[in-house]
Structure formats: C-alpha cells, structure tokens
Amino acid sequence: MASSVDDGADSEGGWCTIESDPGVFTAMITELGVKGVQVDELVDLSEEAFVAANLACPVFGLIFLFKYDQVLAAPASEPLSTAETPHHLIFSRQVIRNACATQALLAVLLNARQRGLQLGPLLTEYAEFAQALDAETRGELLANARDICAVHNSFSPLRGILLEEDPSLRNLLPREDVFHYVSYVPLGGKVYELDGLQTGPSAVGTFDASLLAPGTPDSKQQLPTAEAQHHNDLAWVCVALRAVRQRISRASNQELRFSVLVVHRDPRPELQVRASGGDQVAASLLAQEEAKHARWQLDTTLRRMDLVPLAIRLLILFADHGHFVELLEEAKRKREQQVANHAEHS
C-alpha cells in the first residue's frame, strides 16, 4: 500500500496528518480502547478476491481512500436528509481536514456497536453523546475531542511536529497530495456510504440482513454463527465494493491513486485456539499474523522516534569527512529527476 497523508497539508485545529497504513490504523484502534479489531488492505476489489482473502468475521466496515478528485468525490446517490437517516446510524460532517482518517475509522467503529462490538470506555462515552447530536455538531464534537486527538497525533510523522514548531519550514518541503476517506457500513439491510464532505449519508444498495447481529447495542440476542456471519459479510461487502468500483470507473481517464481498507475482527484468538488443538493450517496462519503484527509494531515504534538528532549527527560526520557537498549535489540531482519525471507523466 502506498503511504499517503490525510486530506490537509498542515496541522489544523491541533490535528496533524497521519499515514494511511493498516498497521497505524490497527494500533490506533487499540489505543482508543477497542480490543480485537484490526485493519487490512484489500488489494483486489473483486468479490472473488474478498472471499479468497478469508478475513476474520465480522467485517465491520470498509474505508475507501483516494487522491482527492471532484469526480471520485461525488457521492453515489443523493445524500439522505436528517429525517431519512436511520436513528442508529452515526454520521458526522467533516469539520477538521486533518482528522479525516480518524473520522473515517470512527464512522466504522461507532456504527459497529449495532453488531455487538465493544468500544471501550472512551469511545462508548463518545458514541452515546454523539448519538443525540446532528451531523454538523458531531463534527464539532470530534474536532474538540482532546483524548481522541492525542491518540491521532501520536501517529503523526515527525514532519508534522516540526511544522508545528516552525511553520516557516513548510515552504522548504515538497507539497503533498490531498487524500480523502469514505467509509462503508451495513445497517438494517442497507449499505451506507459515510462521507464527511457530504450533508448526510448515502444508501448505496441493499442486502439480506436476516443473519445480522442484534440491531441495538444493548440487545441480549445470541450472535450469529461463524458460517452465517461469513455469509452476511460477503453479502454487504459485495454491495460496498460495487459502489467503490463504480466511483473508480467514473474517473477511469484520470490518474488513480486509491486503497481500500477492511476493518474486521482480529483473527489471532481464534487461530490460537485452533492451533492449540493441533490444526497445522491454523498454526501457519497464526505465525503469519503474528509476524505481520510484529512488523506493524516496529514501524509504529520507528514513527514515534525522534531521529532528528541522529540525522544531524550523521550530517556533521559527513561534513567532517568531506562528503557533505558531494551527497548534497547527488540529492539535488535525484530531486530534479523526480520533478522532471512527474512533469512528464502529468
């Protein structure tokens, strides 16, 4: 997956840009207090590829990330009015640009309460308060949610921190592309597109919801079996993927940079149980998952490290040994070549 930044080139309202990486999103979910949920990238948008990916159920939502384009950003259908929006569907307008990634993630998590997901103290309180508000006020609520903002900013690259300390550095850095996030969630037999730039959610299709988990967070009904849950996930995800493909087809003549992230249950607990019972396939899959999470943890640790003192020390050493000017000229040549290549293909 190509790393990208949230849609906004600077820190706004105290929110910094973050990378749209599955490992970042998974760690963020955990630090927000939600357990047993992870994010993976769906590299193929076909229904067959989703089935082959064999992701752990339930799938709580999809997040469509794309380089902002007016054609791609157009909603699938006319946004619903407040009166038309289901009471239990939590939709928020986008108020802070740099919070767009976290807003898309929250759109999935908050609405997953309808399917029995336990959000933890922080997001449960936030969801209960947000439920009674209109979409615009919910956007303001997120903009002022200091605890959520602190978690979000903890994943911001050091670049954002430096710009906070010295905004004049902005002109020395290459301008980043603007990216936008749209969430897709199931509710009551319909799939909804949640785009904070719109006035309301859009219904993009229907599916058989007879096997859905309880319709209210406090329901005591038994959750569906694994087989039924997989059938249900396949039904609604196919509707969402079709909506994403339709968006992409509208911009087929333009540069396309996008990714689809899947928010779903962490498969490791179930794999651990199966592996302990002698299931060799489960043991192999568990090893792959553990290795992936270890890579994510290392990447997250490196993102949070202040490597500026190390970089400065290396530059001093290069200068002391007479290599600084040579390396600087080489870097300039590479940058000029990158600019020329970009201009040639744009």
What residues act catalytically? 100, 180
CA distance 61 to 233: 9
What residues have CB less than 8 Å from 20, skipping those under 6 apart?
A: 1, 3, 4, 5, 6, 65, 101, 179, 181, 259, 261
**3-state SS class at 130:** helix
Q: Enumerate residues 6+ apart whose C-beta is below 8 A from 204.
A: 76, 77, 184, 191, 192, 193, 239, 240, 242, 243
Give the separation between CA 90 and CA 78, rounded to whole angstroms.
Answer: 18
SS3 258: strand
**Pairing mode of beta strands 59-67, 202-206:** unpaired
Question: Which residue, 17, 11, 345, 13, is CA-closest to 180?
Answer: 17
Token pair in block for residue 146: 């200091």
> Under a CB-based contact definition with an 8 Å cutoff, are residues 78 and 124 in contact?
no
Q: Which residues contact 39 (CB under 8 A, 6 or more apart)?
A: 22, 25, 26, 29, 63, 261, 262, 263, 264
Place of tokens 């802070």: 96
Distance in angstroms (rounded) separating the CA atoms of residues 201 and 182: 10
